Amino acid sequence: MNTSILKGVYSSQEAEDLLTQMIQVKIKFHENKINNIHANEEDIKMRENCIKQLQKELYDFRQNIQKQAYKVKLNTEINIELVN
């Protein structure tokens, strides 16, 4: 099953807002998992690295988008597959 989350052309500000909110949700997910009392050290380190990578990607995107006044085309799709 596939579902489209974002599809369209947005102003640079709208695109920045949308991506910031989406990345913040993913960061919050990892933070909640880190704060889980059952999380092991390896899992915590992996999630901390994921958070750092997400923050870097958002920073890079913001740096690029602020330099230009272009419209931004966003197309995100989630592919859902049930596995045993």
What pTM was estimated for this model as a whole? 0.82
CA dist 66 to 16, 23, 42, 79, Å?
A: 9, 18, 36, 31
pLDDT of res. 22: 95
**Residues 1-34: pLDDT tens digits?**
899 989 999 999 999 999 999 999 999 999 999 9
**Residues 36-79: pLDDT tens digits?**
878 789 999 999 999 999 999 999 999 888 777 788 999 999 99
pLDDT of res. 66: 77
Extract the tokens encoding 82: 């049930």
DSSP-derived letter for residue 54 is: H
CB 73 within 8 A of CB 6: no
pLDDT of res. 60: 94
Give me the residue label for tokens 């999380």.
39
